[in-house]
């Protein structure tokens, strides 16, 4: 795990800022999904020439991570994607999935389960087929984060942790791991889409899988239009990161960073605090944002 001090940003924001660089795991596609997928693959016992099937949106980081890790393991990946098929022939995500040797079908949301079953039946007589739940929102995924956060927490002295939170398994794992390590850090999950009640409930559910009962801070003030959307304040946070050589994106990490900026402005994070920003990835989301605007 790579943890670094962000000196220029620390100075600019008046805090002591560190980052966990899960965006570099392994560069360039995956981010936090890598920890989840590696844990799932180990639990399911993926072997060369097995087939793994999973699902997600056309630009899902989970799906690209499965494709990339499967390629590294010599496993075939078939992705059941939903999204806009009209853009399919010149889509950056699909081109990368193709280069990674994955195959896919693009279906409507209500057809996903049926399509997964169809592909599973088609191959189950000739190879070992693993079906992995979309987004990696599983106990195994949360446990992967708990383990790494526990290890990090042993040597960690920070007041706050900030991170992007979607389905909540990553945040739950980090909360559980830090609490097991005895850290007093307050973990703020900045929502990328969900409103507080739904989002916090999902984080609590995932904490339950880990047998942890802790408070959940789920900040929905920076959703900025919803999943995959962004307005001027998210974009300004993303620009501030890039201007200091810290790559952020408008779907995930830019919202989390904007949440940190908002908390500093509101006095919820005091000047001089030690803050750990858990960078979860999202470079591809940023590249797609730039390409779509071009
Ligand atoms: C999926 C994802 C998240 C959110 O993770 P959850 O475990 O679903 O909360 C955050 N950042 C990036 C870059 C992601 O791809």
Per-position DSSP letters for 214-267, written without gaps between them:
---EEE-TT-TTSTT---HHHHHHHHHHHHTT----TTTHHHHHHHHHHHHHTT
Q: Give the H or E element holding residue 268.
A: none
What number does the ligand 1 atom closest to the CA of 31 have?
13
Average pLDDT per consecutive 10 residues, the chain (294 residues; last block may be shorter): 96 98 88 95 97 95 96 97 74 92 96 97 97 87 97 93 97 98 96 98 97 97 96 98 98 98 98 98 94 83
What number does the ligand 1 atom closest to the CA of 141 have?
7
- Cis omega (within 30 of 0) on the bond before 132? no
Question: What is the 280 CA–ligand 1 centroid distance (Å)?
Answer: 6
List the structure tokens of 52: 């793994």
Q: Catalogue the E-assigned strands of the chain.
A: 3-5, 16-21, 51-57, 76-82, 103-106, 129-131, 160-165, 186-191, 217-219, 274-279
Residue identified by tokens 């990835």 is 281
Is the CB–ligand 1 distance for residue 252 below 6 Å? yes
Is the CB of residue 206 less than 8 Å from the CB of residue 175? Answer: no
Question: What is the 147 CA–ligand 1 centroid distance (Å)?
Answer: 17
pLDDT of residue 178: 97
164, 165, 205, best to mutate for ligand 1 pocket (most atoms within 8 Å of CB) = 164
Edge-to-edge order in the sheet of strand 129-131: 103-106, 76-82, 51-57, 129-131
Is the CB of residue 128 less than 8 Å from the CB of residue 47? Answer: yes
pLDDT of residue 86: 63
Is the CB–ligand 1 distance for residue 168 below 6 Å? yes
Nearest to 43 by CA among 120, 180, 144, 119: 144
pTM given for the model: 0.96
């Amino acid at each position: 795990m790579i943890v670094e001090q962000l000196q220029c940003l620390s100075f600019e924001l008046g805090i002591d800022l560190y980052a966990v660089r899960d965006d570099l795991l392994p560069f360039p596609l995956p981010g936090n999904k890598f920890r989840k997928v590696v844990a799932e693959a180990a639990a399911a016992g993926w072997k060369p020439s097995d087939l793994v099937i999973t699902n997600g949106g056309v630009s899902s980081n989970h799906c690209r991570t499965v494709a990339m890790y499967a390629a590294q393991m010599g496993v075939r990946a078939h992705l059941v994607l939903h999204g806009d098929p009209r853009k399919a022939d010149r889509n950056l995500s699909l081109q990368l999935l193709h280069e990674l040797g994955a195959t896919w079908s693009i279906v409507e949301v209500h057809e996903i389960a049926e399509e997964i079953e169809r592909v599973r039946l088609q191959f189950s007589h000739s190879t070992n087929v693993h079906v992995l739940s979309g987004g990696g929102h599983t106990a195994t995924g949360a446990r992967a984060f708990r383990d790494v956060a526990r290890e990090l927490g042993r040597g960690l002295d920070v007041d706050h942790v900030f991170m992007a939170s979607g389905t909540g398994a990553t945040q739950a794992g980090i909360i559980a791991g830090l609490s097991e390590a005895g850290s007093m850090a307050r973990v703020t999950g900045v929502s990328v889409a969900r409103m507080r009640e739904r989002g916090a409930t999902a984080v609590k559910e995932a904490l339950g899988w880990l047998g942890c009962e802790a408070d959940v801070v789920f900040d929905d003030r920076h959703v900025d239009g919803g999943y995959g959307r962004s307005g001027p304040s998210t974009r300004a946070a993303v620009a501030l990161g890039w201007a200091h050589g810290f790559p952020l994106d408008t779907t995930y990490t830019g919202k989390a960073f904007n949440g940190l900026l908002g908390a500093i402005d509101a006095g919820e994070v005091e000047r001089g605090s030690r803050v750990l920003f858990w960078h979860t990835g999202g470079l591809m989301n940023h590249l797609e944002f730039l390409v779509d605007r071009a």
